[in-house]
Amino acid sequence: MTPGYRGLIHRYRDFLPTLKDGDIVSLLEGNTPLVEAPRLAKAIGAPQISLYLKIEGLNPTGSFKDRGMTMALSRAVQEGSKAVICGSTGNTSASAAAYAARAGLKCVVLIPEGNIALGKLSQAMMHGAEVLSIQGNFDQALELVKEISASHPITMVNSLNPMRLEGQKTGAFEIVDVLGHAPDYQFMPVGNAGNITAYWMGYKEYFDKKKAGSKPKMMGFQAAGSAPIVNGAPVKDPKTIATAIKIGNPASWKKAEQARDESGGVIDAVTDDEIIEAYKLMSSLEGVFCEPASAAGVAGLKKHIAQKKLDLKKGAAVVCILTGHGLKDPERAIAVSPKPASIKADLKAILDHLKI
Ligand code: F0G
C-alpha cells in the first residue's frame, strides 16, 4: 500500500456504494487542485469575484473520467466481470483502458473514426484496449455499446453505469471541502451530460448531510454546433472543434435538465470561436492548459458576464471545471498558436529577431 493519499474511494467512502478493500481499482485519482485565477477573472470582466479553476486534467489519465472509472472498475471486479466496454469521444476510452489494465480486465472501446484527439487515442492503444474505430459518430457508438453490453457478458462503463456518476460526484465534495462552502456558481462543459448530473448529485448530498449550507447554480455549456439540450432536439450530425463534447443525443439529457432547473442554473451554447478564445486566455494568463472542450465553461462564464446575466457580488465564488488536460489535443493547441520562428543558430540572428 502506498503511504499518503489513497484515492477518492478511500477518502469519500462514507458517501459511496460499498466496496471491499481488495476490490478497489485505483490510480490515486481525485484530490485535484482548485486554483484561483484572478488574472482570468479580470480579463473576462469580473475582477471582483473569486474565480477558481478545478484542474481535472491532473487526474491519472488526464481527465475527470478517472473519478468515475475507479468506481466502475472496482464494482466490475467485485461482480466478477472479465471485460468492460465503452463508446467514447476519447477520454472515457483512455480512462477505461488504464483502469482495466490496472485491474487485469479486457477492455473494448468504440471511438468515432477521425474524431478523437491524438493524446486520447494513444492512451487507449498503449493501455492495451481493443480499439474499434467506428465509421460513425459518438451517438452511434454508444447505441452499439448499449446493445452489446445488454446481451453479452461485458460491463458497460459509460456514464449510464451508475457507478460512474457516484465516483464523479466526489468532485463537488472536494470543492466544498477546500472552499469551506459551496460556490455560488459552477460552470462546466456538457457533452453526454453525465458530469453535470454527477456534480449536482454531489452538491445535493453534501447539502442534505449538512456538509454545505448552500448549493451552486449549475451552468452547463454545449458547443453551438452540437447543442441538443439548448436546441431542445437531438443533433444528427454534431459539429465542433471540441471533439470531447461532439455529442448529438446525450444519455443523461433529462438529468442534466433537472440539475439546471433544481439549481436555478442554465444550459447554454458557446461557439467554437468563443471556446478557442477562452482556451487561449487561460493558458496565456494563468498557465493553465486544458483541452478545448474544457474551456467551454469558461467561455460560457465570459459570455454571461458580458450579457450581465449573473449576480456577481464582490467575493462571489465561481468555479469552472476544467475537465481534461491540454496535452490531450496537441494538434489543436498548435493549430491555434503562432508558428515558432525558425532561426539560424546564431547569436546575432536571435538578438535581431528578439529586438533586445
Ligand atoms: N469535457 C471533456 C474533456 C470530456 O471528455 C467530456 C466527455 C466532457 C467534458 C463532457 O462530459 O459527457 O459527462 O457531459 N467525454 C466523454 C468521453 C463523452 O467519451 O470521453 P459529460
The predicted model gives 36-56 an average pLDDT of: 98
Q: Which residues contact 2 (CB under 8 A, 6 or more apart)?
A: 28
* pLDDT tens readout for residues 312-333: 999 999 999 999 999 999 999 9
The response to whether residue 194 sits with its C-beta less than 6 Å from ligand 1 reads yes
Check residue 102 and give its pLDDT.
Answer: 98
* pLDDT tens readout for residues 152-181: 999 999 999 999 999 999 999 999 999 999
C-alpha cell of 349? 540572428
The response to whether residue 195 sits with its C-beta less than 6 Å from ligand 1 reads yes
Q: How far apart are the first and last CA of the chain?
A: 54
Closest CA to 328 of 214, 216, 244: 244
* Percent above pLDDT 70 for the chain: 99
pLDDT of 2 above 70: no
Mutate to test the pocket of ligand 1, among 66, 84, 91, 291 (most ligand atoms within 8 A of CB): 91
The response to whether residue 243 sits with its C-beta less than 6 Å from ligand 1 reads no
The predicted model gives 211-221 an average pLDDT of: 98
**Distance (Å, whole) CA 247 – CA 26:** 28
The response to whether residue 155 sits with its C-beta less than 6 Å from ligand 1 reads no
Q: Which residue has the cell 478564445?
A: 277
* pLDDT tens readout for residues 230-259: 999 999 999 999 999 999 999 999 999 999
Closest CA to 102 of 29, 8, 25, 158: 25
Mutate to test the pocket of ligand 1, among 32, 109, 133, 195 (most ligand atoms within 8 A of CB): 195
Task: Categorize the per-residue pLDDT at 1 as very low, low, confident or very high, splitting at 50, 70 and 90.
Answer: low
HSE-CB of 59 using CA atoms within 13 angstroms: 34
* pLDDT tens readout for residues 263-303: 999 999 999 999 999 999 999 999 999 999 999 999 999 99
Tell me how far the alpha carbon of residue 49 lies from the centroid of ligand 1, in angstroms: 27
Measuring CA to CA, how many Å separate 308 from each of 300, 303, 311, 319?
A: 12, 9, 8, 18
pTM of the entire structure?
0.98
The response to whether residue 249 sits with its C-beta less than 6 Å from ligand 1 reads no
- Identify whether the C-beta of residue 288 lies closer than 8 Å to the C-beta of residue 317: no
